[in-house]
C-alpha cells in the first residue's frame, strides 16, 4: 500500500514539473503586443548595429531588405557595425525626425555585451530609445540579442523584462537560434543569407501576430 501511494506521489510530481516546463517553453518563445496597422505607405526604420546593417552578406540580403519584400513597405536600414547602445541612443532622435517612421525595429546591445558594458546601462539606453519612439507615436518591436556563451545561447534577461515593462512585441528566440547554428552564420557572430532571412521572417511574423499587417 505504501509502495502504491509513493508511486502515485511520484507520478504527480513528474506531471507537475512536466507541465511547469511546458509553460516555461511556451512563455519564452516570444511576446506580442498590439501595434496599430501599418499604412500602405508606411516607413519602417530598422535600427541597430551590424546585425541590422547586414555584415557578412551583400546588398539585398540583409534582413531589412528582405523584410521590405515580405511586407511591401519601405524599410530603412540604419545599422552601424560596432555601435554600442550609448552611440545608438545619441543617433536615434535625428533618424526618427528625418524619416518619421510608423514602426521602429530595435535590435541593439550586442556590442555592449561583447565589451562587457554593464547590463543595467545597456537596458537603460534601450529603454530611452523606446521612449524616444513612443514620444513620437512610433510603434516599436524588438529582437533579443544573446549573451555570449560557449553552450546554450539565450537572449539576455533584460530584453524580456524591458519588453514587458514597455509593452513592446519581442522575439527572444530567433537570434539565439541562428547564432547557435553554423549553417546559418557567415562568421562567429553574424548570420549568412539564410540567417538574415530567418530574422526577417521572425519580424514579419511578429507584425502579423501584433496585427500591424
Residues 137 and 127 in one domain: yes
- CATH code (residue 186): 3.40.50.1110
Structural domains counted in the chain = 2
Residues 193 and 142 in one domain: yes
Which pLDDT score is estimated for 27? 38
Structural domain harbouring 22: 1-30
Residues 39 and 74 in one domain: yes
Residues 151 and 188 in one domain: yes
Residues 93 and 19 in one domain: no
Q: What is the mean pLDDT of residues 142-167?
A: 92
Residues 53 and 147 in one domain: yes
pLDDT tens digits for range 195-213? 999 999 999 999 999 999 9
Residues 44 and 19 in one domain: no
Cut 0.95: pTM above it: no
Provide the pLDDT confidence category of residue 31 given band limits of 50, 70 and 90.
Answer: low
Residues 63 and 9 in one domain: no
Residues 25 and 62 in one domain: no
Residues 3 and 104 in one domain: no
Residues 17 and 48 in one domain: no
Residues 26 and 42 in one domain: no
CB 174 within 8 A of CB 50: no
Amino acid at each position: 500500500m505504501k509502495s502504491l501511494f509513493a508511486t502515485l506521489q511520484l507520478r504527480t510530481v513528474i506531471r507537475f514539473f512536466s507541465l511547469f516546463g511546458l509553460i516555461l517553453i511556451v512563455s519564452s518563445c516570444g511576446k506580442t503586443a498590439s501595434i496599430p496597422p501599418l499604412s500602405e505607405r508606411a516607413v519602417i526604420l530598422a535600427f541597430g548595429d551590424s546585425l541590422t546593417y547586414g555584415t557578412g552578406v551583400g546588398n539585398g540580403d540583409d534582413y531589412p531588405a528582405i523584410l521590405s519584400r515580405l511586407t511591401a513597405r519601405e524599410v530603412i536600414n540604419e545599422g552601424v557595425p560596432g555601435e554600442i547602445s550609448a552611440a545608438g541612443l545619441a543617433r536615434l532622435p535625428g533618424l526618427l525626425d528625418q524619416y518619421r517612421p510608423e514602426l521602429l525595429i530595435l535590435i541593439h546591445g550586442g556590442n555592449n555585451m561583447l565589451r562587457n558594458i554593464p547590463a543595467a546601462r545597456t537596458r537603460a539606453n534601450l529603454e530611452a530609445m523606446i521612449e524616444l519612439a513612443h514620444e513620437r507615436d512610433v510603434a516599436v518591436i524588438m529582437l533579443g540579442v544573446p549573451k555570449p556563451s560557449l553552450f546554450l545561447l539565450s537572449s539576455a534577461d533584460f530584453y524580456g523584462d524591458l519588453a514587458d515593462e514597455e509593452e513592446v512585441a519581442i522575439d527572444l528566440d530567433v537570434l539565439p537560434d541562428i547564432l547557435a547554428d553554423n549553417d546559418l552564420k557567415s562568421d562567429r557572430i553574424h548570420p549568412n543569407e539564410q540567417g538574415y532571412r530567418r530574422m526577417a521572417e521572425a519580424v514579419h511574423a511578429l507584425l502579423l501576430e501584433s496585427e500591424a499587417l
